[in-house]
Amino acid sequence: MSPTACPGTADTLVAACRIAVGAAETGLVHDIRRAVFVTEQRLFDGSDLDEHDADPATIDVLGTVGGAPAGTVRLFPLDPADPTGDWKGDRLAVLPEFRASGLGGPLVRFAVATAGARGGRRMQAMVQLANEAFFLRLGWRRLGAPELYVGRPHLRMDIDLQAARAAC
């Protein structure tokens, strides 16, 4: 799969993913994250922005449904000097009104394809317990028992980027 597109859904509206470019698209990404992680889930107080948002190695992905901004995911190499190593995917968020669109899968596959295309070896993520089966269906594996992350139980999961890339 090309890291510049993601498949549409069975819905009549087409889901699309792209790397956010410029202040306007980055602002949309941050708005989606704030709506999901601050307002809806209350995982963060006021803002979920951190040092990775200012790092030029960080990639923000904007997902749209029928052209409307609907979701996002963030990814970055764990060692910015070595993008061929391990990557982290986080801040996967889909606005409530678009969750039935099927955008989550394309966002995760886009992040995996993007990191794999940059030579990344593995991607890891901290996944909310309710999303374990979703990630398992996408080829991820669970690593260990649940642990607290941002104050809530999460699972450490990972995927082999090169194997996932070869499967596309």
State yes or no: pLDDT of 130 exceeds 60: yes
- Give the start-to-end residue ranges of the domains of the chain: 15-167
Which pair of tokens denotes residue 133? 């089966």
Task: Name the β-bridge partners of 74.
Answer: 60, 90
**pLDDT tier at 3 (50, 70, 90 boundaries)?**
very low
Q: For domain 15-167, give the CATH number.
A: 3.40.630.30
pTM: 0.90
Contact yes or no for 125/89 (Cβ under 8 A)? yes
CA distance 27 to 19: 13
In the predicted model, what is the mean pLDDT of residues 47-64?
97
21-31 per-position pLDDT tens digit: 999 999 999 99
Percent of the chain with pLDDT over 90: 86
Instruction: Quote the pLDDT of residue 161.
Output: 96
